[in-house]
Structure 1
Amino acid sequence: MVPEEIGKRIYLVGGAGLSHPADCSVYLVDAGEELFLIDAGAGPGAGAILRNVEALGFDSSRIGHLVATHCHIDHIGGISRIREASGCRVIAHQEDRDGIEFGDPRLTAADLYGIEYWPEKIDNLLEGEEASKEIGDLEFHFIATPGHTPGSIAVYLDAEEGRVLFGQDVHGPFSDGWGSDIYRWRRSMEKLLDLEADLLCEGHAGVFRGEEVRAYIESQLRRYSRI
Structure 2
Amino acid sequence: MRYKNVCDRVYAVGGPGITGGDDCCVYLVDCGADLALIDAGLGRSVDNILRNVQSAGYEPHWIKYIIATHCHIDHIGGIAPIVNLYGPKVIAHELDRKGIEEVHDDLTAADLYGVKYTPTKVDISLRGEHEMIRIGDVDFHMIHTPGHTPGSISPFIDTDDGRVLFGQDIHGPFSPRWGSDLAKWKESMEKILSLNIDVLCEGHAGVYKGENARRYIESYLKRYGQSRSV
TM-score band by shorter chain is: over 0.9
SS in 2 for 1:167: coil
TM-score of the aligned structures, taking structure 1 as reference length = 0.98
Deviation at 1:8, TM superposition (A): 1.0
Deviation at 1:103, TM superposition (A): 1.9
Q: 2:148 is matched by which residue type in structure 1? A: H
Within 1, Cα distance between the matches of 2:85 and 2:120?
14
Partner residue of 2:20? Answer: 20
| 1:152 equivalent in alignment to 2:158 | no
Deviation at 1:20, TM superposition (A): 2.4
**Within-5 A mapping of 1:86-97:** 86-97=86-97
Within 2, Cα distance between the matches of 1:21 and 1:221?
25
Deviation at 1:123, TM superposition (A): 0.2
Partner residue of 2:99? Answer: 99
Matched length: 227
Within 1, Cα distance between the matches of 2:29 and 2:86?
15
Q: 2:123 is matched by which residue type in structure 1? A: D
Partner residue of 2:64? Answer: 64
Partner residue of 1:73? Answer: 73
Deviation at 1:4, TM superposition (A): 1.5
Partner residue of 1:197? Answer: 197
Identical-pair percentage? 56
Deviation at 1:17, TM superposition (A): 2.1
Partner residue of 1:45? Answer: 45
CA RMSD of aligned residues (A): 0.7
Deviant stretches of 4+, over 2 Å: none
Within 1, Cα distance between the matches of 2:166 and 2:213?
11
Partner residue of 1:133? Answer: 133
> Structure 2: which 5+ residue stretches go unaligned?
none
Q: What CA deviation, in whole Å up to 9, does each residue of 1:37-86 have, x standing for no partner? A: 00000011111111110111111000000000000000000001111222
SS in 2 for 1:12: strand
TM-score of the aligned structures, taking structure 2 as reference length = 0.97
Deviation at 1:2, TM superposition (A): 2.3
- Checking the alignment, whether the CA contact within 8 Å between 1:47 and 1:81 is kept in structure 2 is no
Q: 1:27 is matched by which residue type in structure 2? A: Y
Residue range with higher mean Cα deviation, 14-23 or 29-38: 14-23
Partner residue of 2:169? Answer: 169
Q: 1:205 is matched by which residue type in structure 2? A: A
- Checking the alignment, whether the CA contact within 8 Å between 1:90 and 1:124 is kept in structure 2 is yes
Within 1, Cα distance between the matches of 2:157 and 2:86?
23
SS in 1 for 2:166: strand
Deviation at 1:6, TM superposition (A): 0.8
| 1:213 equivalent in alignment to 2:213 | yes
Within 1, Cα distance between the matches of 2:16 and 2:76?
15
